[in-house]
Structure 1
């Protein structure tokens, strides 16, 4: 261990004998000299400096400083993705020993995607990858984050990835979630924890779409145009092409005006055929298909077959209609 020490020649050295590690000089200046010396030698030879060293170490610790390794790598998402690429590239070799070599030999916790085992040693790690690499796996990160630990000597990399598995016509993507803890061991990054799991299915978006349609249909039954218009976006992204209006409605006021007349027809909609397309991980979706509207009163009440396209988009935690196109079904 070396210590960079600022020593005053006039006050620090009272003996004429040279100190090991510091070359003797026939004439010493009283100005401060900067000298790299062996710290253990200095602490033995100068007890006063030893006490100072302890004091300095304590004060720096009290202030929350920790010794950082020389030339430490910057722990960020770039480093994490580079290490993930090393792991993914190792899979492409189809050599389970090459993959297993990236895992810690000191402390390991490995919870694979499709194995019931809690793997804690290199032998079982290699056994697991012996079968897995035969599936021709190739991983692609779709969402991730990084949390550094241990003064930059460890980090957690977690998120979502998609694995293409299989060969030929049977090759298919599998969406999964991952957590890696990478730690420095003898200067190299090693995986000390790896947890992978199949991504759970999200909500049934067709069911969500139908529930939101029912909210819209129920609002019609109130005959309050404000309640219907409140389901439409006010974020400046509205496009509403109503069934019997020639207008392209783009704001809440015109939406309310349209429904002021429409609700007086006692409309009640029933979906007869529909489908859904999901966007932005469920934050938006297109619901389209066929519906029948019963309109009018008494004997004049009659069904009208029509087609619909709704885009519902999350706004403030709730879905709002940002696009609505309705048209009479052609004969």
Structure 2
């Protein structure tokens, strides 16, 4: 517990954390503020391009061997490369293309980063197009010179609820 408190206090007190405050205002996505944020923001584009190949292996190679995937359109949490491959074998049939609507990038250290926000996917099933908006979080870990997805959580947006 002491180490958790120490880690949180170091993170909150660090100037590196302060400079990574949100870069989004309203519905406008503002360009990343520095080169490291730009590098992390391009990782979604790389992942989205891999989806466009229609090949599960191209997507799965972007995940760390010990990655966890909590996908949008499946109730099963995937924790092995085989399980993640199985998910993308089914998901890619829908010809998904994603667009980020809102994001925040947090640089945890030189080898770790979080990209979280909201994205919208265009999907095609039985010739019919639909859109699915979801909240997402990618946790990236740098291995050698390459950033890999260590954790990917995506959940469809809940129904709109008014709390007036």
Per the normalisation by structure 2, the TM-score is: 0.74
Unaligned runs of 5+ in 2: 1-13, 15-33
Match of 2:53 among 78, 93, 110: 93
Q: Say if 1:130 and 1:168 are closer, same or farther in 2 by CA, change over 3 A.
A: closer
How large is the Cα RMSD of the aligned pairs?
2.1
Runs of 4+ residues over 3 Å off in structure 1? none
Q: Which has the larger radius of gyration?
A: 1
Q: Deviations over 1:178-234 (max 9, x none)?
A: 0000111121110000000001122369xx7xxxxxxxxxxxxxxxxxxxxxxxxxx
Offset of 1:81 from its aligned partner? 2.2
**Number of aligned pairs?**
132
Q: Of the two structures, which has the highest relative contact order with CA contacts closer than 8 Å and spacing of 6 or more?
A: 2
Look up the match of 2:135.
177
CA distance in 2, matches of 1:164, 1:204: 27
Higher-strand-fraction structure: 2
Rate the CA distance shift 1:126–1:169 in 2: closer, same or farther, 3 A.
closer
Equivalent residue number for residue 195 of structure 1: 153
- Once the two structures are superposed, residues 131-171 of structure 1 have per-residue CA deviations (whole angstroms, 9 ceiling, x without a partner) of 1001010000000001111x321101000000000158610
Contact 1:138 1:164 in 2 (8 A): yes
How far apart in 2 are the matches of 1:131 and 1:180? Answer: 20
Unaligned runs of 5+ in 1: 1-63, 65-72, 209-331
Q: Distance in 1 between matches of 2:40 and 2:141?
A: 11
Hey, what's the Cα distance between the residues in 2 that align with 1:204 and 1:135? 32
Among 94, 112, 121, which residue is 1:154 paired with? Answer: 112
Residue 120 of structure 1 deviates from its aligned partner by 1.2
